Amino acid sequence: MDAYDPQTIEARWQKWWEDHRTFAVEGTAPRAKKFYCLTMFPYPSGVLHVGHGRNYIIGDVVSRYKMMRGYEVLSPMGWDAFGLPAENAAIKKGVLPRTWVEQNVAHMKTQFRRWGVGYDWRREVNTSTVDYYKWTQWIFLVLYERGLAYQRKAPVNWCPSCQTGLANEEVVEGKCDRCGAEVSKRDIPQWFFRITEYAQRLLDDLSELGEWPETVRTMQANWIGRSEGARVDFRLEDGTPLPVFTTRPDTLWGVTFMSLAPEHPLVRKLVAGTPREKEVLGFCDRCRLQSAAVRGDAAVEKEGVFTGAYVVNPVSGERVPLWVANYALMEYGTGAVMAVPAHDQRDFEFARKYGLPIKVVIQPTDPGTGPMACAPRPLRAEAMEAAYVDAGIMVDSGPMGGTASPAGIPEVIAYLAGEKMGDRTVHYRLRDWLISRQRYWGAPIPVIHCPTCGIVPVPVDQLPVELPAETEIEFPPKGESPLAKVASWVNTQCPTCGQAARRETDTLAQWLCSCWYFLRYTLTDAERRPNDKPFDRKKVDYWMPVDQYIGGIEHAVLHLLYTRFICKVLCDAGHVGFAEPFKALFTQGMICKQSSITHKLEKMSKSKGNVVSPDAVIAEYGADTQRLYTLFVGPPQKDAEWQDDAVVGARRFLDRVWRQVAERQEAMAGVRPYAGDGSDLDAAAKALWRKTHQTIRKVTDDIEHSWQFNTAVAAVMELANAIAEAPKSPAAAPVLRLALESMVRLLAPLVPHFAEELWVALGHEPSVLAAGWPEFSEAACQEDVLEIPVQVNGKLRAHVSVPAGASEEVVTAAAMGLEKVKEFIGAAPVRKVIYIPGRMLNIVAK
């Protein structure tokens, strides 16, 4: 055998897998033996670095492992090619988005190939191709027909840099998720999906996702943000209803003012023509520049302005002033907040700042415990330094006085309902999903605006609505879709009445494209022609749900929530037979590296000067070394540090295993792997046989149950140590062969080119994937146990059970742990321990 040369063998095996269609699947296995392994598809936004590699390498390990376990594994890949990143980058570089995407796809595909990750490329999707986005438009129409898509003019999140509206989920800490610009609000007509209609189901079905990380389920639950409370029907003095939502109706008698969100439509009407108009509207305009995240932050300085109007509290008939406050959010409840400064900290701070009254309506009752327990002193508003938010008893609360708080909330709600002053209600934090973008690089929203018929959906048989040619487009964003400038495209005929009409010029957010790509993968390119359906129900029902989804946690409330919603809609519409798309989810940690700029550990990025190119690592060490290092660097769900000088360690291990096989290749010729029960083996051979079975058990467990690839690799390293020390006698040859073959098969999912090559070197036909995963026997894993007599001061006092070959330290520790031995030693110090290996232990204690 030649020396290990990854450059030669990796290219050879990549070609072999392609020629033999190793990863092409037809879906012919019984359904119990299908396995859909899905790795989140990338934006073709440039070049992949080794940090990206973790995701795809883990997916490939799982796919290959399942193939070796006899599953038919669907492992596809594609490109999330529409959207702002591509368009922004194309503008910056002065190329057309499609050209830019195509170049990146070509390069990234080469990178995937060189990593040795196996995909069924006949199923590749690119969301920006017309054969694909035709069906993204179809999904929009499915929602439209079901009343789940609507256009409305409303204040929306606006990125001044990307010049487009954004969904709430795309605004992170008040900034654009794409470009980092501060997000403001703008009043423009936008398209929304009614995801709020599915809020409760999205919440309830989280309980079915037991194989998802707890963190992701919690993030989704918090994002949906269900809270139970009451609607209370306040009114303006002229009788205009102004309902509020509150989770604390038990504090209703303590309301001393009310706050409206600056965006509340009532504000403008209330102050129109009054002396306060200028001051109030000026305040509202200033608030709009602050993001909801900043305004909703408990630490933000509370500010407000009196509108001059009053509202009437239905339970007390009291007249309280109506303010506008920065901390009242249109997104929460009704945009009107009843203020109870005695029992809400934000209201308390606001009341103190503006000299508004504070009225205590919950008195603490807990007398404490112990001999010093006494009834707490009653709260007095003047003496309060903070709001009292704990439990107590309702006081000064009309007919509800004396009720326990918060335990009595249901009684208060029943009272409100009985008096027709309000009712029990559930509030969700989740808002409708803004899906229109004022940009070019997306699927056009398939509707037509007709002067007579209004909004008319494009009939399905007229799909796709193709984007106009890129050469006709002025790309730099101007706040209106660039499509609006292409008159020949915009002007069309109404599909209903035939009149001259205009096309919708907004495009769909790329989040919709990625809500169904995994359904498209169930068709091969041949099966997709003549493209008369988005997917085939039979194929989808066979492959779905996805058995294992792998991707980053940053998608927890974006892609993963949107996709669950779209799946439920498709299920309700009868297009698919399942309501949850992803059975199991794994979110990998990031690979970080010391930044040459900040000198801190940071996520790899060009701006931090810490990007490592896989091309360079592969050229120096080979793809299998990069794979092994990536898997060995730490538990895959945690962030890990990439260290350039540690990569060589992974390469050294592969060199060592290679030499082990090469040196024993001749001796192994014609030898069959040992298949006995161990009874005919001498001690040294038996030890290797046992170690082999234990390693198979450990690696299987690490991959199958806990995804601990790092400890799996460590276990194989231990087996390699045992092989190095194994006897070279002809009698031990079958056990040695078993050990070598098992090691190569265990390595096959991790370092696939390397394992294929060694499998052939051991005299087999390729592929090692077809050889299957090695089996272990529990009996073979059992250590021989010895009963060793234990003496204390020369007298036999007990027996201790230890594994054969246990060291003196292990035997001594086990013996000292025995109750009987402890008893005879008593308080005397141990002076000496004499161990005759395997025979006797004497403890001298005097």
Q: Which residues contribute to the site for Zn ion (CB under 5 A)? A: 159, 161-162, 176, 178-179, 181, 450, 452-453, 494, 496-497
Smallest separation, CB 181 to Zn ion (Å): 5
Give whichever of 85 and 734 is closer to Zn ion, judged by the CB atom.
Answer: 85
Q: What share of the chain is helix, strand, coil (3-state, %, to 5)?
A: 40, 20, 40
Smallest separation, CB 590 to Zn ion (Å): 22
Give whichever of 501 and 751 is closer to Zn ion, judged by the CB atom.
Answer: 501
- Asked if 561 and 220 count as a contact pair (C-beta separation under 8 A), the reply is yes
β-strand 362-363 against 422-427: which pairing, if any? Answer: unpaired
HSE-CB of 584 using CA atoms within 13 angstroms: 14
Give the distance from CA 356 to its chain's centroid: 45
Tell me the C-alpha to C-alpha distance, in Å, between residue 558 and each of 514, 552, 562: 11, 11, 6
Alpha helices in 69-94 (DSSP H): 84-93
Give whichever of 282 and 451 is closer to Zn ion, judged by the CB atom.
Answer: 451
Give whichever of 189 and 454 is closer to Zn ion, judged by the CB atom.
Answer: 454
Q: Which residue type, as a one-letter code, is found at position 499?
A: Q
Smallest separation, CB 188 to Zn ion (Å): 16
Structure tokens of 663?
């040196």
Residues making up the chain, counted from first to last: 846
Q: How are strands ordered across the β-sheet holding 785-792? A: 795-803, 785-792, 840-845, 830-836
Smallest separation, CB 42 to Zn ion (Å): 20
Smallest separation, CB 475 to Zn ion (Å): 15
What does the alpha-carbon distance between residue 286 and residue 796 come to, in Å, rounded to a whole number?
Answer: 89
Smallest separation, CB 142 to Zn ion (Å): 22
Smallest separation, CB 494 to Zn ion (Å): 3
Answer positive or negative: Cα dihedral of 247, 252, 254, 259. Answer: positive
* Residue where the block lists tokens 């069924």: 120
Smallest separation, CB 499 to Zn ion (Å): 5
Structure tokens of 608?
């931090």
Smallest separation, CB 176 to Zn ion (Å): 3
> What is the DSSP annotation of 11-72?
HHHHHHHHHTTTT---S-S-GGGEEEEEEPPPP--S---HHHHHHHHHHHHHHHHHHHTT-E
Smallest separation, CB 434 to Zn ion (Å): 14
Give whichever of 181 and 579 is closer to Zn ion, judged by the CB atom.
Answer: 181
Residues in contact with 821: Cβ distance below 8 Å, sequence separation at least 6, in sequence order:
790, 792, 797, 798, 815, 843
Give whichever of 83 and 464 is closer to Zn ion, judged by the CB atom.
Answer: 83
Structure tokens of 335?
């945009």
Give whichever of 497 and 619 is closer to Zn ion, judged by the CB atom.
Answer: 497
Give whichever of 502 and 537 is closer to Zn ion, judged by the CB atom.
Answer: 502
Query: Maximum distance among all alpha carbons in the chain?
Result: 110
Structure tokens of 386?
């903070």
Give whichever of 171 and 751 is closer to Zn ion, judged by the CB atom.
Answer: 171
Answer positive or negative: Cα dihedral of 182, 183, 187, 190. Answer: positive
Give whichever of 227 and 496 is closer to Zn ion, judged by the CB atom.
Answer: 496
Structure tokens of 179?
């470009």
Smallest separation, CB 163 to Zn ion (Å): 8
Smallest separation, CB 529 to Zn ion (Å): 34
Give whichever of 492 and 496 is closer to Zn ion, judged by the CB atom.
Answer: 496
What does the alpha-carbon distance between residue 687 and residue 784 come to, in Å, rounded to a whole number?
Answer: 10
Beta-bridged to residue 260, according to DSSP, are 324, 336
DSSP, collapsed to helix, strand or coil, labels residue 211 as strand
Give whichever of 45 and 313 is closer to Zn ion, judged by the CB atom.
Answer: 45
Give whichever of 19 and 461 is closer to Zn ion, judged by the CB atom.
Answer: 461
Beta-bridged to residue 363, according to DSSP, are 393
Smallest separation, CB 498 to Zn ion (Å): 7
End-to-end CA distance of the chain: 63
Structure tokens of 169?
């989920």
- Asked if 651 and 751 count as a contact pair (C-beta separation under 8 A), the reply is no
Neighbours of 343 (CB within 10 A): 23
